[in-house]
A and B are shown apart, each in its own frame.
Chain A
Amino acid sequence: MSITRIVVGNSDTYVVIAAFNEAQVIRGVVTEVAAQGYPVVVVDDGSRDETAAHARAPGVTVLRHAVNLEQGAALQTGIEYALRRGARHIVTFDADGQHSVEDIPALVAALATHDIALGSRFLGKQVVGASRGRKILLRSATALSNRMSGMKLTDAHCGLRAFRATVAPALSITQDRMAHASELLRKIHTSGLRVTEVPVTIKYTEHSMRKGQGGFQAIRILFDYFFRAS
């Protein structure tokens, strides 16, 4: 058993990470987050590689889906676990290393006056390594999402966000697959939560680009949003 330096004061902010076949990078991501004293909940979404084993570290709880249910379902599992453990704030964080742990304090600080804080790639800070085509895709997705959700946001589908545990039931994800981001925005809007955006830095690495969502998946997400809503 190793001794880890734990930063005190962050222990009621649970960081939920949904991971699918991320054995290569998951260890680096979880240790970085856990080092800041945040309890980390990794949901291994039925990976076929050693994601679960690589994610095990002090301060990290690994949940494992017996079958792959996709990202929305995995996040919801992690959120429910965090709630049962008495979380006050919940942060969702991507497993592929594109988010920065340095952005978490600003998100959590925003919860003092808001129910939910969404990370935004386009609010001041720069997007590192994204292609021109990708930026256009993201901006189009945001414009469409704003029309559907009735809100004015600068970035609709950033996976880095924080919310109060008390509003978690209102945000409960039923979209197992990728349409959960749009579902979240709709629920924020319909339940009248106080939402704010916080600038975050996204690191587009070769790894995260490969795992990311392309234009073709956007069509599938739209299909899910409209036809698989329950």
Chain B
Amino acid sequence: MTTLVALLAPLAAEEPSTAVPFSEQPIIRVIMLSGLAAIGYLVFLRRNRLPFHIMTVFALLAAGAAAVMFPGATDDIAHYVGVGRGVDLITYILEIAVLFVLIHYYTKFVELQRQLTQLTREMAILKAEVERVTQPQTTTATATATDQ
């Protein structure tokens, strides 16, 4: 985390931005809060996951809702870690998070592909072996017929 901050520090803007009162931006806030609520609902539907996962997601959603209600708070946190604006801080965190998720799913995808190959290969070989035993071809027909 400290290395991340050190990396991001030079990027920080100089002038601090001001917090926006709720009454000035009702529309965007309603949109954001509804989006967060929708995600929360979808996660709640998939509650076969570990309670820990669910709680983590809800904590993140709550943090998101808090950021919508008190935009100034993100600026305070940003200043604390050495970033100019809250929006910038969120962007940086998002970039890392998106890359992490991308690599995670890419790794999973490659692994799944490998498993699919293995499975398909085994099936193909197994089927050919079964066919070879049950319906012998011309060249081996005589030998097999006398065996039985």
Contact = CB atoms under 8 A, between A and B. Distances in A.
A65 B124 contact: yes
Contacts of A63: 124-125, 127-128
A15 B127 CA distance: 19
A176 interface: yes
A69 B125 contact: no
A113 interface: no
A65 B124 CA distance: 6
B125 A4 contact: no
A43 B124 contact: yes
Contacts of A66: 120, 123-124
Interface in A32-81: 43, 58-67, 69, 73, 76-77, 80-81
A185 to B, nearest CB: 21
Q: Is the interface of B mostly helix, strand, loop or mixed?
A: helix
Contacts, number: 56
Interface residues of A, number: 27
B120 A67 contact: yes
Q: Is the interface of A mostly helix, strand, loop or mixed?
A: loop
Contacts of B17: none
B132 interface: yes
Interface residues of B, number: 17
A66 B125 CA distance: 11
A87 B90 CA distance: 60
Contacts of A60: 137
Contact of A77 (B125, B132, B137): B125
Contacts of B114: 174, 230
A176 B113 contact: yes
A171 to B, nearest CB: 16
Given A3-B138, A67-B120, A73-B121, A62 B128 contact: yes
A69 B121 CA distance: 9
B148 interface: no
Contacts of B141: 1
Contacts of A152: none
B143 interface: no
Of B114, B120, B123, B141, which is in contact with the most chain A CB atoms at under 10 Å from its CB?
B120
Contact of A69 (B110, B117, B128, B137): B117
Interface in B102-135: 110, 113-114, 116-117, 120-121, 123-125, 127-128, 132
A137 to B, nearest CB: 28
A4 B113 CA distance: 40
Interface of A: 1-4, 6, 43, 58-67, 69, 73, 76-77, 80-81, 84, 174, 176, 228, 230
Interface of B: 110, 113-114, 116-117, 120-121, 123-125, 127-128, 132, 137-139, 141
